[in-house]
Amino acid sequence: MSASGDFPLSEAPQSARKGLLSISMVLFSFTFFTGTMFAGGKLGMAFSFTDMLWIATIGNSLLALYAAALAFIASRSGLNTVLMGRFCFGEAGSRLSDFLLGFAELGWYAWGTATAAIVLVKMLGLSEGLTIPLMILFGFGFSITAIVGYKGLDVLSRVSVPLMFILLIVSMYIATRDIGGFKGLAAVIPHETMTFSAAVTMVFGTFASGATQATNWTRLSRTGRVAIIASVVSFLIGNGLMVVAGAWCAIVYQQADIVEVMILQGLSFAAVIMLCLNLWTIQGPTIYNVAAASCHLLRSERRRTMTVAAAGVGVLLAIGGMYEMLIPFLVLLGSIIPPVGGVIMADFWYRHRGKYPLLANASLPRYNLMGLGAYAVGALVAYCSPWVAPLVGIAVSAVCYIGLLQFSGRRVAVSAAQGE
C-alpha cells in the first residue's frame, strides 16, 4: 500500500473499495464544472433549442458509455488508466498516456485557476493588478483537497454538488421565465454557426479527458455494477446538465459566459459563491488526476509532492493565457485523448480476455509498439476526421490494435502469474 493510501502504483485492494453513493458523489463533483457550461453556451449561440437538446443528449450519452466502459475495466482490475497503459503501451511506452492525460488535466486546472481570478476581479471591481496574485492564491489553494486525497474530495462533493444543482435549476427557471416559456425558447433563431459533428465533438471533448481519468475513482468501486451505474449517471446527468444549462441560458440572453448570465439574472452574489465553490470542487479532482499521472510518469509514490508541483505548473499556464484557449483546447482533447481508451479496451478484452495479471508479477516490454502505433493512427485519423472525432479515434485505435495483434499472432496475454 502506498504511503498516501491512494495506491498510485498498484491495484486498489478490496479493503479500499467504496459504495455507489461515495463514488457517484465524487464523480458528480468532477462533472459539475463551470467550464462545461461555457462550452454549452457556445452551443446555445449556434443551435436552436431543440437541436441543442439533441446534440447534448447524443454527445453526453456517448461520453457516459465511454466512461462506463473504462470504469468497468478499472473496477475489475483495480487499476487506473495510467496503470492500464503499462499493458498496452509498455513499461516505458506508458509514459505517453501519462503525459497526455496529465497535460489534459493540467490544462483544465490552469483554465479553472485563471477563470476564478479573472471573474472575481471583474465582478468585484478589483484592480487588474490583483489578477496574477489571485491566480497564485487559487492555484495552490484549490489543491488542498487533492493533497488530503479521496476523503477530502468525498467530503467536499457532498456539500457542493447539491448546492450547485439547486443554483442551476434556479438559473434555468429564471431564463425560461424571462424568454416567455418554452415557446419563447423554441422561437429563438441562432446567430452563430457550427457543424453537427463539431458540436458533438465539443460536448464529448468537454470531458473526454475526465472520462478517461475517472478510473482514478471508479477503480475503488466495490463491484463493476457500481462503477458502471456511477459513471453513466454522473456523466450523463452531471456533465449533461452543465452543458444544457449553459446552452439554455445562452439561447435566452445571447451570452455564452454563464457568469455574465447570472449577473443579468440578478444572481451576482450567487454567481461568485457558485464560481468559487464549483471551481474548488472540480479543481481538487483535476489536480489529483495530474498528480496520479505524474506519479506514474516518474514512478514515484509521493503523490502530495506531485500535487503541489503540478499546481505550480498550472499557475504558470494560467498566467500564460489559458483562459482564452478553452474551445480549441476542447477540440484537441476530443481528438487525442479517446484513442488512449480505445487501445486500452481492445487490449483488455481482446488480448487479455477480460483479465489482467497482477501488475507486480507481469513481464512487460519497455515499449509495446503495436499499442503505440494504434494510438498514433487513431489520434491522427480523429484529428483529421470530418465526423465525430472522439468516436472515430476510439474505433480506429481499437480496430487498428486488434488488427496488429491478429497479424502478428500475438493474441496472448502477458506472461505472468495469474494472482487473484
Q: Would you state the cell numbers that stand for residue 286, as one nine-digit string?
A: 483535476
One of 3.40.50.1370, 1.10.490.10, 1.10.4160.10, 3.40.50.300 is the CATH number of 21-324, namely 1.10.4160.10
Render pLDDT for 133-143 as a digit per residue (tens, 0 to 9). Answer: 999 999 999 89
Render pLDDT for 81-120 as a digit per residue (tens, 0 to 9). Answer: 999 999 999 999 999 989 998 998 899 899 999 988 988 8
In the chain, what percentage of residues exceed pLDDT 90? 56
pLDDT at 420 over 60: no
Render pLDDT for 301-338 as a digit per residue (tens, 0 to 9). Answer: 888 899 999 999 999 999 999 888 877 887 788 899 99
pLDDT at 292 over 80: yes
Residues 6 or more apart in contact with residue 162 via CB below 8 angstroms: none
Render pLDDT for 371-419 as a digit per residue (tens, 0 to 9). Answer: 999 999 999 999 998 888 888 999 999 999 999 999 887 655 454 444 4
d(CA 79, CA 339): 18
In sequence order, the β-bridge partners of residue 221 are: 18
pLDDT of amino acid 158: 79
pLDDT of amino acid 412: 52
pLDDT of amino acid 410: 65
Best CA proximity match to 39, nearest among 225, 219, 257, 229: 257
Q: What is the pTM of this model?
A: 0.86
Name the pLDDT band for 144 (thresholds 50, 70, 90): confident
pLDDT at 3 over 50: no
d(CA 286, CA 214): 10
Name the pLDDT band for 2 (thresholds 50, 70, 90): very low
Rounded to 10°, the helix 131-141/268-298 angle is 60
Best CA proximity match to 80, nearest among 25, 172, 168, 16: 16
d(CA 13, CA 22): 17
Q: Point out the least confidently predicted range of 97-101, 157-161, 175-179, 235-239.
A: 157-161
In the chain, what percentage of residues exceed pLDDT 70? 95
Q: Would you state the cell numbers that stand for residue 104, as one nine-digit string?
A: 489534459
d(CA 294, CA 18): 24
Q: Would you state the cell numbers that stand for residue 90, as one nine-digit string?
A: 509498455
d(CA 23, CA 232): 12
- Domain locations along the chain: 21-324
